[in-house]
Structure formats: structure tokens, C-alpha cells
């Protein structure tokens, strides 16, 4: 099993640790200290040694932060975690704060009216983050101060940094060699008049060099920093023990390998101008450059957009991975439908579906901890089952099942909502509205230049008609044997990045009723150029090609709520599922799939 079911944190650990932190704050003359979820690489998922937010508060969500003051500690969480945070933190000592509805500066103004000094670790905050808070605090008596990390002082048994081995990613799946990628980016640097670019995102470095790592569970990346020069030469700052001779041969003579502690001196020795992404690089790098008066310019990480626009080889590879994964999910669903209500638990579900994926012989890891939430647990969009929370599936409930696999040829992610026994009409109506939103995105044709903010509302429209909604984006970018959450593209009202061909994004509207049930339906889609329709007079449209092929449970659909085109899409999708997946299945699952894909 890749997934375990241990309780990763407990609420009772928070108060004494908060007391220790406050003692350190007093020693250093600080009125508060900020603790983000992120590490020095601004990763959503972090290594055990970087779980500072969970260590202090008990909260284990993938986004959020804490601001600890002398008499209040606010834990800022978005709509995905409003239920989870109540279960994981001691609310007598930590106060949940809805974010981004409440911004840090506004909250600080109300909680520190007489001013004070707020400390933060510049390794764990970006220039743009600190600039935004400082701007919000203008005309107040509150000031921010770069400071040593106080959590590291009190975390006496903090794990050591990971030392996972790096591997070579095949060019046949990547589509381009790392030599070609570096040459293209170096040309861009020269055109921009920049001598070098600082790379801090592990997935950018993995993509650029066609390597993968294992420092972060579920994400095949290695902790490293890099400097790409306008000559195409690159200096990689990484522990030498992570690299074997095969990897070093693959990297070749144009890659200089140096230890991580050499990164600071290397920054100070640059001549510039240096390109630096102020939304992902740590502020500490700016401090190092300014200490030696190295000129720099803020600009996006040069790898991010090329990485997002997949090559044809990457798209073909991920199509294959999704077919394999789809067959494994269908095998699970066949098994699931044979289980009577009240006989299996959430852990049984997670164990079984991971076993189905592992049985392919190609599973390298799961792409994130599988979400298997039944009944009220389904209302927690990022629920993770543990031994203490494990719940038996009960007649009349819904099960939200969201998971995926890391295969060499692709990263998969799919969500299906399943009925346990006989489900009520209210749940079916909500499910059908979610399905209508998902179908709307799947059928969408849209002009070039539109971004997630322009399309997100289309998925919500059926829910809005009855005053329902969901507190997460409709979709996130996805890598190819890289991170399951990848930027810069998102199907979200906060995304301004235009969609381009080759971008992979999830399509996952949902609905959640706290204490009762949750619903989510998710496929991954890839942006493609749309053909001109007969009678049409405009070119340049884009559309979404679906990558997942697993039936949507018809028992939850109120067919009379669907329009004719929506029924046509669903029937065509199910026919495609049957055609593509049947050859990959055993006879029992083939029979199940035949029944599950009958037209409505």
C-alpha cells in the first residue's frame, strides 16, 4: 500500500506547541509569527521535515497558514477545508479564518490595533506575498520582519530533509530532450536581455532536465534549485547522493552539479540581469542578490508555460495512462457494486482501488491520498480517511471517491460519486445538476484567449439556478508523471492565464452539504484546437478532449432533468468508455461495463 491510514496530527498537540512558540516570540521581541503551509520551493505538497503548519496546529490540509499573535492564533483556510479544520485543531487556541475572504493584512489590523513586529521566514514566503501584506498594512503601526524560523527552534524531533534518488525520464514520453529545452529557454533569456534565470520549483527543474525524483510522496520530484544561463548551461544545486552515474551521464557536460549550500554564494556571484519569479521564488533569494547588488527582474518562471503546454508525445503517453487507469477503476466499480450496504468501510474502498491500480503492474505511486468520503465525510472535499475516522458505508448514503495514479507515462485523477443502496431524491437532483455542469464544460467550444475566470461560471450555472454552489475551483492543471496540481492554468474564477492547446486541466464541479453528503464528478481534459462546424463562420476556437473513460453512475441521474444534447453527450461518452475500455477488462468486468454504459 502506498497510502496509510495513520492519524497524522491531533488537536491536543497544538496548545503546548503554541505556548512554546509564543515564548520564542517574546525572547526575540516579536508580536507574532507567520507559519505557511509552503516550503522553500512553494510546493503544495511538502516533505515531512516541512510540515510546520501541521506540527503547530494539527491542520493537514494542502493550503493554508497560521498567524500566531500573543493572544490569538488565526488559522487561515479556504472553502475546501472549513469542515476539516474544525476536526483537526483545538478551537480554544486556534481560530479558523475564512480565506481569501479575509486577507492577512485586514485581519492583522483588527487583531494588532496598537501595532507590533510580525516575524516570518524569508525562505518560505515569496516577494509578492510579503509585498501584498505590507501594502495592506500601510499607514498601520504593524511591521514585518524577516526572521529565523521559530518553528524549527521548538521542533526538537524534526525529520531530516529527504534524500530520494533521482531517475531519468524517457525522451520518448517527454517529446523533447533536455538539451533542446534548455536551448529554447536560453534563446528567450537572450532576447529578454537576461543573463540567467533562477529555478526554484522542483517540477520545473524535473520537466526541464527530463528527470524525476521521490523527495515528496505522490509527486515525482526532487528538492533542488537551479540557475539556467543564457548559454544553455545550467547549474543544479542538489545533494550528490541523489544522483547515480546513469543520471549524471544523462545530464551531461552542460550541467554543473553543486551541493545545496553553494546556492547562496552562487547567487551572489552572478552578474545579472537575473530573471526571478516573484510568485514562487523565496524572498531569501532577493535578499542574497541585493546583498551583492546583482540586478534582477521579476518575470514568470520560464519553464511553467512550456511545461503546461504538453507535447504530442506527452499527450499520447497520458492517453495511454488514462486508459490503463480507467480499466482499473472499472474493475473496482464492478467489485463495489457487488458489495451489500453496511459491509465495507472507507478504508476497504481505498485499499481495493489502490490494489486495482497496482494490479496493472505499472503503478509507481498514487497521485495523491485517495479521497473516499461517505455520508458527512463526503462533504469534506479533501477528506483523508484514517483509522480513527474510518466509517462503514451505510444504506442511503453517497460515496465520493477521488483518486489517481502516478504512472511513468502519465498522472491520472478521476472522481466518481457512487450510491450506497437506495439514495434520496434530493441527492439525485443535486447530482444531476453537478453532472450538467460537468457536461457543459465537456461540450464547450470557446474563443482563443479565454482563461479559467471566463469559463468557471458555466459549470456552476445549473447549481446557481437553485442557489447551490461549491467552494473550490472547477479545475486544476495536471502534469504528465509530475504533480497532480500544476499551474499556471486553472479552471477557476481567479485564473487569468489563457488556455492554450496541450494544457491538461480537471473538470470537476461538485456540491457539498455539511453534515450530510458530498458530490463531485471529475474527468481530466486536454485543450485542443476545435474543428470548424458546418455552417460556422469563425475559426480559432478551442475545445476540451476528455481523457478519462469511466462510466458515470446512472442510478443517481434524474434523466428528466437532462436536455436532449446532455443525454446525447452522456450516451456518446458511455459508448466511448465501452469501446475503449472493454478490451482491457476481464470477462466479469466487461459484463458490468456493458450494463453500466447502456443509454439513458
Cα(199)–Cα(302) distance, integer angstroms: 8
**Maximal C-alpha separation, the chain:** 74
Q: Do domains 11-154 and 309-590 have the same CATH topology?
A: no
422-462 residue pLDDT tens: 999 999 999 999 999 999 999 999 999 999 999 999 999 99
- pLDDT of 284 > 90? The answer is yes
pLDDT per residue over 95-126, tens digit each?
999 998 899 999 999 999 889 999 999 999 99
How far is 430 from 121, CA to CA, in rounded Å?
A: 44
pTM reported for the whole predicted model:
0.95
| pLDDT of 270 strictly over 90 | yes
The DSSP output letter for 532 is P
Residue 370 confidence (pLDDT): 98
261 pLDDT above the threshold of 80? yes
At 67 the three-state DSSP class reads: strand
* Class of the CATH-defined domain 167-307: alpha beta
* 326 closest CA partner among 373, 370, 360, 350: 360
Residue for grid cell 510546520 = 52
What are the strands, taking DSSP E only, across 230-369? 234-237, 255-258, 274-276, 296-298, 363-366
Residue 536's pLDDT is what?
Answer: 80
Q: What is the pLDDT of residues 14-45, one digit of tens each?
A: 999 999 999 999 999 999 999 999 999 988 88
- pLDDT tens for 139-170 read 999 999 999 999 999 999 999 999 999 999 99
Q: What is the mean pLDDT of the chain?
A: 96
Q: So where are the chain's domains?
A: 11-154, 167-307, 309-590
CA 287 to chain CA centroid, Å, is 29
What is the average pLDDT across 312-322? Answer: 98
Q: Is the distance from CB of 368 to CB of 381 less than 8 angstroms?
A: no
pLDDT digits (tens, 9 = 90+) for 239-255: 999 999 999 999 999 99
Give the pLDDT of residue 61.
84
Measured CA to CA, the distance from residue 132 to residue 160 in angstroms comes to 32
Q: What is the mean pLDDT of residues 407-418?
A: 98
Hey, is 2 helix, strand or coil? coil
Q: Are 519 and 373 in contact (CB under 8 A)?
A: no
Tell me the CATH architecture of domain 11-154: 3-Layer(aba) Sandwich (3.40)
Closest CA to 413 of 304, 334, 520, 493: 520
Query: 359 vs 31, 311, 383, CA distance in Å?
Result: 54, 29, 25
As a whole-number percent, the residues of the chain with pLDDT over 70 amount to 100
Stretch (H or E) spanning 463: helix 452-464
pLDDT for 8 beyond 90: no
What span, in angstroms and rounded, lies between the C-alpha atoms of 528 and 544? 6
Q: What pLDDT score was predicted for residue 63?
A: 87
Cell output for 319:
492517453
Identify whether the C-beta of residue 197 lies closer than 8 Å to the C-beta of residue 227: yes
pLDDT class for 539, splitting at 50, 70, 90?
confident
pLDDT of residue 10: 76
Phi-psi category of 133—alpha, beta or left, where left has phi over 0 and alpha has psi -120 to 50?
A: alpha
- Mapped onto helix, strand or coil, the DSSP state of residue 367 is coil
In whole angstroms, how far apart are CA 177 and each of 107, 128, 207, 311? 48, 33, 10, 12
CATH number for the domain whose boundaries are 309-590: 3.90.230.10
Determine the pLDDT at residue 190: 97
3-state DSSP assignment of residue 429: helix
Per-residue three-class SS string for 209-226:
HCEECCCECCECCCCCEE
Amino acid at each position: 500500500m502506498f497510502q496509510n491510514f495513520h492519524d497524522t496530527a491531533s488537536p491536543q498537540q497544538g496548545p503546548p506547541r503554541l505556548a512554546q512558540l509564543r515564548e520564542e516570540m517574546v525572547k526575540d521581541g516579536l508580536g507574532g509569527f507567520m507559519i505557511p503551509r509552503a516550503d522553500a520551493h512553494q510546493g503544495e505538497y511538502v516533505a515531512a521535515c516541512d510540515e510546520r503548519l501541521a506540527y503547530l496546529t494539527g491542520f493537514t490540509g494542502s493550503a493554508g497558514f497560521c498567524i500566531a499573535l500573543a493572544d490569538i492564533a488565526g488559522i487561515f483556510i479556504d472553502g475546501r477545508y472549513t469542515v476539516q479544520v474544525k476536526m483537526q485543531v483545538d478551537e480554544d487556541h486556534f481560530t479558523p479564518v475564512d480565506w481569501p475572504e479575509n486577507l492577512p493584512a485586514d485581519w492583522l489590523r483588527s487583531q494588532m490595533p496598537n501595532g507590533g513586529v510580525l516575524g516570518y521566514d524569508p525562505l518560505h514566503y515569496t516577494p509578492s506575498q510579503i509585498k501584498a501584506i505590507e501594502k495592506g498594512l500601510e499607514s498601520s503601526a504593524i511591521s514585518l520582519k524577516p526572521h529565523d524560523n521559530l518553528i524549527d527552534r521548538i521542533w526538537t524531533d524534526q525529520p531530516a530533509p529527504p534524500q530520494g534518488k533521482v531517475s531519468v525520464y524517457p525522451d520518448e514520453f517527454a517529446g523533447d530532450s533536455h538539451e533542446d529545452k534548455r536551448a529554447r529557454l536560453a534563446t528567450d533569456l537572450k532576447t529578454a536581455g537576461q543573463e540567467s534565470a533562477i529555478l526554484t520549483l522542483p517540477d520545473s527543474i524535473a520537466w526541464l532536465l527530463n528527470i524525476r525524483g521521490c523527495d515528496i510522496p505522490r509527486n515525482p520530484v526532487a528538492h533542488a534549485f537551479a540557475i539556467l544561463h543564457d548559454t544553455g548551461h545550467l547549474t543544479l544545486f542538489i545533494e550528490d547522493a541523489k544522483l547515480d552515474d546513469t543520471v549524471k551521464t544523462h545530464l551531461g557536460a552542460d550541467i554543473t552539479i553543486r551541493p545545496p549550500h553553494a546556492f547562496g554564494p552562487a547567487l551572489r556571484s552572478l552578474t545579472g540581469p537575473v530573471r526571478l519569479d516573484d510568485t514562487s521564488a523565496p524572498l531569501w533569494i532577493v535578499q542574497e542578490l541585493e546583498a551583492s547588488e546583482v540586478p534582477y527582474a521579476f518575470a514568470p518562471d520560464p519553464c511553467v508555460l512550456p511545461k503546461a503546454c504538453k507535447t504530442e508525445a506527452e499527450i499520447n503517453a497520458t492517453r495511454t495512462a488514462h486508459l490503463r487507469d480507467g480499466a482499473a477503476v472499472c474493475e473496482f466499480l464492478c467489485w463495489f457494486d457487488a458489495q451489500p450496504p453496511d459491509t465495507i468501510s472507507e478504508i476497504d474502498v481505498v485499499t481495493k482501488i489502490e490494489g486495482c491500480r497496482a494490479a496493472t503492474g505499472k503503478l509507481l505511486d498514487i497521485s495523491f491520498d485517495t479521497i473516499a468520503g461517505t455520508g458527512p465525510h463526503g462533504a469534506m472535499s479533501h477528506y483523508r480517511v484514517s483509522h480513527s475516522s474510518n466509517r462503514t458505508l451505510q444504506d442511503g448514503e453517497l460515496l465520493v471517491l477521488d483518486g489517481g495514479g502516478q504512472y511513468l507515462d502519465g498522472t491520472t485523477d478521476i472522481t466518481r460519486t457512487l450510491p450506497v443502496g437506495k439514495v434520496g431524491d434530493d441527492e439525485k437532483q443535486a447530482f444531476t445538476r453537478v453532472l450538467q455542469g460537468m457536461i457543459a464544460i465537456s461540450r464547450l467550444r470557446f474563443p482563443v484567449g479565454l482563461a479559467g475566470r471566463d469559463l468557471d461560471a458555466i459549470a456552476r450555472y445549473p447549481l446557481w439556478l437553485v442557489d447551490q454552489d461549491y467552494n473550490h475551483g472547477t479545475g486544476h492543471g495536471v502534469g504528465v508523471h509530475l504533480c497532480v496540481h500544476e499551474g499556471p492554468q486553472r479552471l477557476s474564477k481567479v485564473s487569468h492565464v489563457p488556455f492554450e492547446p496541450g494544457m491538461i486541466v480537471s473538470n470537476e464541479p461538485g456540491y457539498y452539504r455539511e453534515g450530510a453528503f458530498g458530490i463531485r464528478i471529475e474527468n481530466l481534459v486536454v485543450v485542443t484546437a476545435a474543428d470548424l462546424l458546418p455552417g460556422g463562420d469563425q475559426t480559432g476556437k478551442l475545445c476540451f478532449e476528455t481523457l478519462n473513460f469511466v462510466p458515470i453512475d446512472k442510478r443517481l441521474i434524474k434523466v428528466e432533468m437532462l436536455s436532449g444534447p446532455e443525454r446525447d453527450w452522456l450516451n456518446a461518452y458511455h459508448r466511448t468508455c465501452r469501446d475503449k475500455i472493454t478490451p482491457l477488462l476481464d470477462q466479469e468486468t466487461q459484463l458490468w461495463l456493458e450494463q453500466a454504459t447502456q443509454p439513458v
